[in-house]
Amino acid sequence: MMMVVGVLWLIPFVWVLWTALRPKEAIISNVWSWQWTFDHFIKVWNGAPFAQYYMNTLTISGGVLLVQLVTLTLAAYAFARLRFFGKEVLFMLFLVQIMVPADVLIFSNYHVLKEFGLLDTKLGIMFPYFASAFGIFLLRQAFKQVPYELEEAAVVEGSSRLGILWRIYVPLTRPIYVSFAVVSVSYQWNNFLWPLIVTNSVENRPLTVGLAIFAQSFETGAQWSEVSAATLIVVAPLLVFFLLFQRQFISSFMHSGIKG
């Protein structure tokens, strides 16, 4: 069954790859041939500021991930190990955020950014994603599986809370961080609606918005070879990133302690 699903998922990718590599004459004539070319990729790269789009996307994805790793680590440790009034109620409120689609909050988030003067900025795109309820839940379950005796031993030796986090909890839950990084980077890389609403300039536009504008431009029209090449330029780094960390990604979710 999984093989069938994998083949069905692979068919569109193979079609896009084949269309992007075939010469335009072969596509127009619809004649089967093994001819291939990289001219479409060169034309696409020179026809739109994809280098700028790449830098913007890397900045946004990396910036969001770095801030998320700090916020979710601190919040997950607090929910997993600290005792304070209303902890369970507050944690349930965090979980409610998982059930609220991000698109529902676009209107309110837009007005908040307008008040702060962050429209059409990279920080404005990143700001709503600096905290992750899903990441807090995932890491909290992993922290709860860490033997509490290790923390007690560290306290006896004089370690601070931050020292305990850095020396015990973070190394023991590294696969969870890897899996969350894959999820976070993938989401930010593919995020389209929010950046489309917030950005107006090339200097802050990510790859997804740039690809949509390129695909709808007058120069490309229905030229599927260029559109397919542009699509591969956008998704190729994400595919490589997932293939490099797929083993850690899958194993971490299988042993993430959801039952804890």
Q: Which of 96, 68, 90, 81 is nearest to 142 (CA)?
A: 81
Question: Quick one: tokens of 51?
Answer: 């280098």
Report yes or no: 131 and 73 within 8 Å, Cβ to Cβ: no
Neighbours of 88 (CB within 10 A): 8
Q: What domains can be seen in the chain, in order of their start residue?
A: 1-38 (no CATH), 49-254 (1.10.3720.10)
What pLDDT is stored for residue 253 in this prediction?
Answer: 58
Q: Which residue, chain included where needed, has tokens 């084949």?
A: 18
Query: Alpha-carbon distance 94 to 171, whole Å?
Result: 25
Closest CA to 180 of 55, 73, 93, 27: 73
pLDDT at site 248: 66
Kindly list the distances between the CA atom of residue 32 and the CA atoms of 21, 23, 26, in Å, as whole numbers in the listed order.
13, 11, 7
| pLDDT attached to residue 31 | 61
The torsion of the CA quartet 186, 63, 250, 15, rounded to 10 degrees, works out to 20
Below-70 pLDDT ranges, the chain: 25-33, 218-222, 248-260
Predicted confidence (pLDDT) per residue in 106-139, tens digit: 989 999 999 999 999 999 999 999 989 989 998 9
- The pLDDT value given to residue 10: 83
Phi first, then psi: what are they for 21, rounded to 5°?
-95, -15
Tell the burial category of 248 from Cβ atoms under 10 Å away from its Cβ (0-12, 13-18, 19+).
middle
Alpha-carbon dihedral 231, 234, 236, 238, rounded to 10 degrees: -130
| Helix ranges, 85-192 (H) | 87-99, 106-116, 122-126, 133-145, 148-156, 161-164, 170-172, 174-190
